[in-house]
Structure 1
Amino acid sequence: MTAKAQNVWSQFGLLSRPGSALHSREPSVSAPSRPPSAQRLGDVPIQVRQTLLNTFVPYSADLGFFLDFSEFCNSVVSSSPTYPVTPALMYTVFLIACRLSHSSQLSALEPGLLSRAVASTAQVLSVTSTSPGEHSGVKVLQAIQSHVLLAQYFFLTGRKLEGKYSVTLAVSLVLGTRMHRIRSEEEFSRGQALHPSGYTGYSGGPGFPPPQTPKEESQRVNAFWTVLALNSRWTAIEGTSTSLAYWMSAMRVDTPWPWVRLGPSTRNSSTIQKFLANAPDNGNSPMASHSKACILLEQAFELENRVAEGSTSGQQFLSVFNNLAVLTARFITELPSIESIQESTESESGSPGNGSSRKRALLVIHTLARVALIKLYSLYEATNPSSSSERARAQQFQLEAAKEAARMIAMVDLRRAAFVDPIMAILWRIIAQVLSAQEARGRVQAEIQSYVDLVMQAMSMLAPRSSLMSDQLVKLQGSSR
C-alpha cells in the first residue's frame, strides 16, 4: 500500500490490518483471497458511503445496475438496514465510484477496494447467510449484479481477460438459475403435465426458489438481459466463443423483454428468434433496445465467423446478410433520436436518473447498431471481389454508418461524463478506421477528417478514467500518422 493510500485509509478509519484483503497486493480473479465478513462493512463511515454513492448514482444505469437503486442506497447509508446488502455488491459499487471520482483522496482507496471487491464477489454465494430476510433469490441477484459491475470495472481499466471471466461467471449464474426461461411457455406446459394442480410456471433450477414478489421477478428479467447484452457485445468484439449461445435449443431464450408488464397468465417463447425473424414485439424499453443492439452486433460478427470457417454457402450468406441488414436498418429507424431526450428524463431503474444518462445510453445503442451495419457491409464487400459496383455500394453504406455514428457524438455532452460503456473504446476505433479508409480512397478529406476528429476528441475526454479508451486512442493515433 502506498503512503498516500495508507494515510487516506487511516483518516477514514479504514487502515488495513495484516492479513486482510487491503493489506495484500491486488489479487487475481482466479485466486481470490478470503472474503470480508458482513461485519467489515461497518469500517466504511456513513459519510464516505454517501460520497461514493453520489459519485455512482449518475452512472448506475450506464453500468448496468438492475436492482432497486433506492433500496440499495437506503441500506448502504443506514445503520440498521432492513434490506440485506452483500459485501460483494457494496465494495464493487464503492470500487467503481472511486474510479470515477474526481477526488484524489477517494481515488487512493481504489487498490484496497479492488482487493475487497474481488475477494468478496468470488465467494459471495459460498458464505452462509444469517439474515432471515436474505433468501437465496436476493443473494443470487446481488451476486450477478456484483459480477456485472466488476466486469465493467475490468473492461474500463483495460483488463479484458478478467472482465470476460467476470462475464462468464454472470452467465453461469443466469443459466444455472434458468433465468433464460422466465415465463417460458414450454416450461409451464411441462410443469402442468407433471404437477397439474398449483404449478405457477416458474422453473428456477436446483435450489433456486421462485421469485417472492413481482418486483423480484422483474429484477430477474432485467438481470438476465443485462448479462446477455454484456456477453453478446464483448463476445462479438473480442471474437471469442460465447458462453450464451441463444441460437442453440438448450440455451433458447423464452424470457420476455425487460420492462414489459407481466400479467398472471403471461407466457413467452423464443424471444430472440422471433426478433431475428423480424416479428413485431413489445420490447421497446431502453434496456430492451440495448439488448437488441448487442444481439445484432453479435449476429453480424457470428456471420463473419461462419464465412471464415466456410460453413455457409454463398446463397446462405446472402439470405442471412439480407435479413440482418434489413432488420438492423429498421431497428435504427425505430430508435428515439438523441435530440428528443430532455434533461429531466428519469431512469427506468428507480435511480435519480437524468437526461444525460439517457443520452449516453442512446449513443451506445445507436453506435452498436451502426457498427453491426458496418460489419455486415464489410463482409458483403469482401464476398463480392469481382463486382466493382457492389464493392462501391458496400463501401458507401459503411461510410454513411460511420459518419452517422460520429455525428451523434456531438449530441452528447461528454466533457463532464466520467463514464461511458467501455465497449465504446472499441466501437469508436472501428468507426475511425472506416472513415480513414474512405479518406484514403479519395473521399472529401476535410469532411471525413472532421468526423475522425469528433471520434478522437470523444476518446480523449474519456481516456483519463479509462485505460481501455486510452489504449485504443493511442493505437488510433499511431495508425493515423
Structure 2
Amino acid sequence: MLSGNPPTTRGSSSGPIRTTKPLKRGKACMNCRFLKIKCDGTKPVCGPCRRHPKDDECEYADGPGRSRTKALEDQVSRLEARLQELENPDASTPSVKLHDPYAQYNETQRMSKSPPLYVPAEPTVFVGPLSPFSPTSTSSSLPSGRHWNTFSALEANTELAGSSGHGHSTSPIRQIPSTSPFLGAEEPSVLTIQNLLDTFLPHASEFGFFLHVPGFRASTLKPLSFGHPGRPSPALLSVVYLWGVHLSKSDALLGQEQAFLTRALQHVSTDMLGTHPNRIIHTLQAQILLAYYFFRIGKFLEAKWQTGAVISLALGSGLHKLRSANNPPPATLGLIHDAPQYLDHPQTLLEEGERINGFWSVFVLHKLMSVALEPPLSVCGPLESPGIQVDVPWPLDISQYIDGLFTAEIRGNSTVRSFLGGLPPASHSGDSSAAMLTKASILLHRATHLSAQWSPNMQQREFQAFAAAFQTVHRLIEGFRAQIPQLAGHETGDPTVRTLILTHALADAAIIKLHGIFSYADSSSKQHCLTAARNIMHCGGVNLPEVGYLNPMMGTLWMIACHVFIDEVSRLRSQQPWPETQATPTGNELTEEELMEYLRNGLAYLSLYSEDNVLTRYQLTKVQEAYSAI
C-alpha cells in the first residue's frame, strides 16, 4: 500500500482532477470494487462516481477516516465470529461473561435482620416477576361510583412485612420501568395486613375460602419474609390482600386496588413454578378467590377463565379422587429425573379436609358460574365430561375435621351421580353446611340444564324421557328443601347464616328454573314458582343489612325471583285467562299489590348490595327495565 496520496496537478478551477502516476492495483474506490468496474483512482471523487452519482459516497479503503462500508464489513465480521462462538461453545472462549446484577442486593437482604426498603436512584424499581400473560389494566368494567380510575402505586416507604425472618421469597426479582404500579414493597405494612385480614376473613367463606381461617391468619402474620414456606404462598397472600382492599371502605386503599390486582395476577401466574410446599392447594385457593372477584366486578370473561384454570388444577391434582372407595392410582403431577411426582400425603385430618373442601369449592364455583354466565344449553362443563367420576366424599365443616369426625372408614363412590340418582350415600350423609351448599348448587345446575332440553315439538319418546327426568329432579329438590336447617336460632353475624341464606335461595331458584317454562300454562307450576320466589325474598326473616357480604350469586337469585313477580303482574294486568284444560287457581292467588311488595323488596336487596358490586348493579338495572316494560 502506498504511504501517501499520489501527487496531483490541477487544471482550471472547474476542470477534472488528474493523477500524475499510474493507478496501482487495489486502489479502486469501494463503489467501483463492489460493481467490478474500472476506477481511475481520482480523489476525492473518482471519474465513474462523478459521471454516475450513486447513493453511497465515493470512498477509499485507505482514506483519512473509517468508511461506512468498512465499518459495516467489520460489524459483519464480528457477528460472524460471535455466531461461530455460540454454535461451538466448547471450542472458543466466551467474549461475554454473564453475572448476576442482583447478587449484592440479595446478599444484603439475607444478611440484614431488618433491611431498609430499597429505592434505587435510577427511575427503576424492584418488584416480583412480571408475567407476560397478566393484564395490566382491568378498569374497563369497574364501577364508576368508586375511584377505579385513580389507582395508584403501593407507597415507596411501605414496610416489608416479616423482615426479621430468615427465609426469602422464592420468586425472582427483576427491574421494570417506573411506570409500574409498584414501588419496591412486596407486601403492605404489618398493620395494613392485619386490617386487610380483619376486613376479608369474616366474609371469606362467601367467596370460596376453604382453608382453616385461624390457621391461615396465624401463618400470614408470622415474622417471616414474603414467600417463606412457613407462610401462605405469595399468590394466596396477594389475592387475600386484594379482597381486603376491595371490601374496605378506605379511599386510600381503594385507590390502590389496581396495583394489588396486578400483583395478585403476577403471582398466580408464576407460583406453580416455584418451590413453596403448599403451592398447589394455595394456588387453587387463590384462583377460586380471583374467579369470584372478577365475577363480582363484572369481568365475566376473566371469571370464566379463572374458573376453567382452577378446574384443570383440581382434576389434574386428583382431588376428585380423594378418599375414593375405588382406590384409584394417585395423579401424576410431573416427572423429575424420570421419577413420577405426586401430591404430598396430608399430615393431619385438617389438611386432608382442606383438600376435600377445596375440591367442592371448585365444584360449587363451576356450578354457579355456569348457571349465571352460560346459556342454559351450555351449562355442562368439564366436571360433567364422560370419564370424570367424582368419588371424593361430601365435605364437612372445617370444625368437624378438627373434632375428628372424618373417620378412616369414610369413603366416596360416584358421589354426585348417586345423589342425582336418589341413591343413599356410601358413607356419611353430607348434612354439613358445606355439603348442603354443594347439593343446592348441583340441583340448580341440573334444573337449569334440564329445562333447556324442553321443546314443544318433542317426539313421544323424548317427551317421556323428559317427563321422567323432570319428576325425578322435582322430587330431589323438594326432599332437599325439607332437609335444609332453618335460619331461626342463628346469630346474624354467624357465617353459617350467610351459607344457609345462599343454600335456601339456590334450592328455591332450582324450583323456579324447573317449573318456569310451564308457569304460563300450568297453575301448579306457577304456584311452585311464586312460593319459591317469596321464599327467596323472605330470606328466613333475617335482617340482611346486619348479615354483611353475601356470595355474588345472590344478585342473580334475587333477579330470578323478581322476574317471577314481574311476569305475574304482567299477566294480571293483561287479565290473561287460564286455559280451560287447567283448573283456575283460587284461594292462593296474590293480589297485584302483594306482588308489588315482594318486587319492591327484591329491588331493595339488589340496591343494597349494588353499592360496591358491579354485577348486582347491572342486575338491578335489568330488573328495573323489565318492570318498566310491563
Compute the TM-score of the two structures, normalised by the length of structure 2.
0.63
Amino acid at match of 1:439: V
Separation of aligned partners in 2, 1:225 and 1:318:
30
Larger Rg: 2
Q: For residues 301 and 416 of structure 1, do their structure 2 counterparts lie closer, same or farther at Cα, with a shift above 3 Å needed?
A: closer
User: Structure 1 residue 403: deviation in Å?
Assistant: 0.9
User: Structure 1 residue 18: deviation in Å?
Assistant: 7.4
Say if 2:496 is the partner of 1:358.
yes
Amino acid at match of 1:163: A
Say if 2:280 is the partner of 1:140.
yes
Separation of aligned partners in 2, 1:339 and 1:409:
7
8 Å Cα contact 1:373-1:398 kept in structure 2:
yes
Deviations 1:79-100 (A, max 9, x none): 1277331111111011111111
The residue number in structure 2 matching 1:280 is: 424
Higher relative contact order (CA 8 A, sep 6+): 1
The residue number in structure 1 matching 2:247 is: 100
Deviations 1:356-378 (A, max 9, x none): x2222111111111111001112
Q: For residues 474 and 409 of structure 1, do their structure 2 counterparts lie closer, same or farther at Cα, with a shift above 3 Å needed?
A: farther
The residue number in structure 2 matching 1:290 is: 437
Q: For residues 222 and 457 of structure 1, do their structure 2 counterparts lie closer, same or farther at Cα, with a shift above 3 Å needed?
A: same
Deviations 1:200-243 (A, max 9, x none): xx556553324232222211100000000010121123225467
The residue number in structure 2 matching 1:209 is: 343
Say if 2:560 is the partner of 1:422.
no
Compute the TM-score of the two structures, normalised by the length of structure 1.
0.82
Separation of aligned partners in 2, 1:165 and 1:420:
22
Q: Aligned to 1:234, which of 369, 372, 378?
A: 369
Q: Which runs of 5+ in 1 are unaligned?
A: 25-35, 192-201, 344-353, 383-387
Deviations 1:85-126 (A, max 9, x none): 111111101111111111111212211000011111122202
8 Å Cα contact 1:75-1:82 kept in structure 2:
no
The residue number in structure 2 matching 1:306 is: 453
Q: Which moved more, 1:309-318 or 1:63-72?
A: 309-318
Q: For residues 48 and 121 of structure 1, do their structure 2 counterparts lie closer, same or farther at Cα, with a shift above 3 Å needed?
A: same
Amino acid at match of 1:168: G
Q: For residues 437 and 101 of structure 1, do their structure 2 counterparts lie closer, same or farther at Cα, with a shift above 3 Å needed?
A: same
Which protein is richer in helix relative to its size? 1
Deviations 1:304-353 (A, max 9, x none): 3333696981111111110111110111111111123135xxxxxxxxxx
8 Å Cα contact 2:158-2:185 kept in structure 1:
no
User: Structure 1 residue 264: deviation in Å?
Assistant: 3.0
Say if 2:437 is the partner of 1:437.
no
Separation of aligned partners in 2, 1:248 and 1:121:
26
Q: Aligned to 1:253, which of 380, 390, 393?
A: 390
User: Structure 1 residue 395: deviation in Å?
Assistant: 1.1
The residue number in structure 2 matching 1:173 is: 313
Give the secondary-structure state (helix, strand or coil) at the position aligned to 1:19: strand
Say if 2:544 is the partner of 1:413.
yes
RMSD of aligned Cα (Å): 2.8
8 Å Cα contact 1:155-1:422 kept in structure 2:
yes
Q: For residues 435 and 243 of structure 1, do their structure 2 counterparts lie closer, same or farther at Cα, with a shift above 3 Å needed?
A: closer
Deviations 1:384-439 (A, max 9, x none): xxxx5xx121111111110111111751432562x211111211111101111112
Say if 2:259 is the partner of 1:149.
no
User: Structure 1 residue 448: deviation in Å?
Assistant: 0.8
User: Structure 1 residue 20: deviation in Å?
Assistant: 6.8
The residue number in structure 1 matching 2:164 is: none
Give the secondary-structure state (helix, strand or coil) at the position aligned to 2:346: coil
The residue number in structure 2 matching 1:315 is: 464
User: Structure 1 residue 444: deviation in Å?
Assistant: 0.6
Q: Which runs of 5+ in 2 are unaligned?
A: 1-136, 138-146, 161-173, 335-340, 573-589
Give the secondary-structure state (helix, strand or coil) at the position aligned to 2:407: coil
User: Structure 1 residue 295: deviation in Å?
Assistant: 0.4
Give the secondary-structure state (helix, strand or coil) at the position aligned to 2:452: helix
8 Å Cα contact 2:314-2:320 kept in structure 1:
yes
Give the secondary-structure state (helix, strand or coil) at the position aligned to 1:92: helix
